[in-house]
């Protein structure tokens, strides 16, 4: 009996080896085909794609890319995503400003909004209505280039498979169009966003789509509390793979802030230089987002200068030391000027941030802390990267 089991196991192993060799051969052929295609493209002058979304003539989103909107709860991440959707769908007669975002007139474009959080009786339908109203449509209109779906009722363990099949159906239905897919929120599209295998499975799906199926993704994701890092392993990987990452946060950067002004900051712009921030707020009369005026922005900034809290110090240090070193005297002078704190207060908080190894900045797979060294008898402050 044991000998028979050994023979069966040996045959199974041979079959698995044959299957593995077969898969390897198929993948090798795919590599060869890609190599052939690359040779053909490389031999010609490359014309880069124009952006499909701009802001004041600045390129924001390019076709066939993965893009991210991140932020904590309550900072209007979804409303920002809806505003971008309205920009893509905007009719020629619509005069809504949409925060200054504009889309290039693509010959064919289909937008699909996939939601995972909001209920199906009021919240998500209302969001869809607002997208259409802001784009110049009535709420009962059915634009042929606007698709939408919810994964709320799908068991979490099945959502990736359902999403995969749904994207295939969309691609078949709109065969010759550029497809823009909004995933709000992307961490709900897998059963565990902290698992590397599930995160990479979803990202691989998107990578194949943007390279083979003429698709652009806009992914909404929550940030971890007290950190600028997007949630989980998926958050780390989606940042690495993104072309544009947008952060939205209360301008004064405090938890449970009552500030109405929201700061839109570009954490990553792969194809352009990093753009200057945009400031906006929620307008109760229009039920949408509008640009904040300079006076409102300055009022919040003044409050920040008067308080000089630790959070303000961290934000300032991330800006001052992002790409340079500063002497102690220069850093203290700059911090005092911007935060309006006394030299003693500034020094105390600076020492606390240094002693606690507080995270100042997070970028890709590294976190940065405040460090200092002595050079020519002078203390120099700088940011040092350490792995996660």
The domains of the chain are located at: 1-47, 53-298, 308-387
CA distance 241 to 203: 8
CA distance 316 to 150: 40
How is domain 53-298 classified at the architecture level of CATH?
A: 3-Layer(aba) Sandwich (3.40)
Q: Supply the pLDDT for residue 238.
A: 94
CA separation, residue 284 to residues 69, 146, 249, 288, 291 (Å): 23, 26, 19, 7, 13
Percent helix, strand and coil across the chain, each to the nearest 5? 45, 25, 30
- Report whether pLDDT(5) > 50: no
- Report whether pLDDT(8) > 50: no
How is domain 308-387 classified at the architecture level of CATH?
A: Orthogonal Bundle (1.10)
From 34-48, 188-202, 237-251, 279-293, the region with the lowest mean pLDDT = 34-48
Q: What is the mean pLDDT of residues 369-376?
A: 90
Q: pLDDT digits over 26-60, tens only?
A: 778 878 888 888 888 878 887 778 999 999 889 99
Q: What is the DSSP letter of 340?
A: -
CA distance 250 to 268: 19
| Claim: this prediction has a pTM higher than 0.75 | no
Query: 311 with 349: CB under 8 angstroms?
Result: no
Q: What is the mean pLDDT of residues 78-89?
A: 96
Q: What percent of the chain has pLDDT over 70?
A: 88
């Amino acid at each position: 009996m044991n000998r028979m089991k050994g023979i069966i196991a040996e045959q199974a192993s041979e079959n698995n080896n044959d299957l593995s060799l077969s898969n390897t051969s198929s993948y090798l052929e795919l590599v060869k085909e890609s190599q052939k295609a690359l040779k053909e493209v490389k031999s010609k002058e490359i014309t880069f794609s124009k952006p499909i979304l701009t802001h004041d003539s600045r390129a924001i989103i390019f076709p066939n890319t993965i893009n991210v909107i991140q932020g904590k709860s309550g900072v209007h991440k979804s409303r920002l995503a809806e505003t971008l959707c309205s920009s893509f769908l905007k009719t020629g007669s619509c005069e809504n400003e949409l925060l200054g975002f504009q889309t290039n007139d693509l010959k064919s474009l289909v937008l699909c909004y996939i939601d995972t959080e909001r209920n199906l009786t009021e919240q998500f339908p209302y969001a869809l209505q607002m997208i259409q109203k802001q784009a110049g449509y009535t709420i009962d209109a059915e634009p042929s280039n606007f698709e939408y779906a919810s994964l709320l009722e799908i068991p979490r363990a099945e959502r990736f498979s359902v999403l995969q099949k749904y994207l295939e159906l969309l691609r078949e239905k709109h065969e010759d169009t550029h497809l823009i897919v909004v995933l709000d929120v992307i961490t709900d599209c897998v059963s565990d966003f902290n698992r590397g295998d599930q995160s990479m499975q979803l990202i691989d799906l998107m990578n194949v789509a943007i390279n083979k199926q003429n698709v652009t993704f806009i992914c909404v994701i929550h940030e971890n509390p007290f950190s600028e890092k997007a949630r989980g392993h998926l958050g780390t990987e989606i940042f690495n793979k993104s072309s544009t990452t947008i952060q939205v946060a209360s301008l004064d950067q405090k938890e449970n802030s009552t500030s109405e002004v929201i700061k839109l900051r570009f954490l990553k712009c792969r194809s352009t230089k990093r753009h200057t921030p945009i400031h906006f707020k929620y307008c109760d009369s229009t039920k949408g987002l509008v640009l904040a005026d300079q006076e409102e922005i300055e009022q919040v900034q003044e409050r920040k200068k008067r308080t000089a809290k630790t959070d303000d110090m961290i934000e300032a240090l991330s800006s001052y030391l992002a790409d340079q070193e500063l002497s102690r005297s220069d850093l203290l002078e700059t911090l005092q000027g911007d935060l309006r704190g006394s030299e003693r207060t500034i020094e105390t908080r600076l020492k606390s941030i240094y002693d606690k190894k507080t995270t100042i900045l997070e970028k890709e797979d590294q976190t940065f802390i405040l460090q200092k060294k002595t050079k020519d008898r002078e203390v120099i402050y700088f940011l040092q990267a350490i792995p996660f």
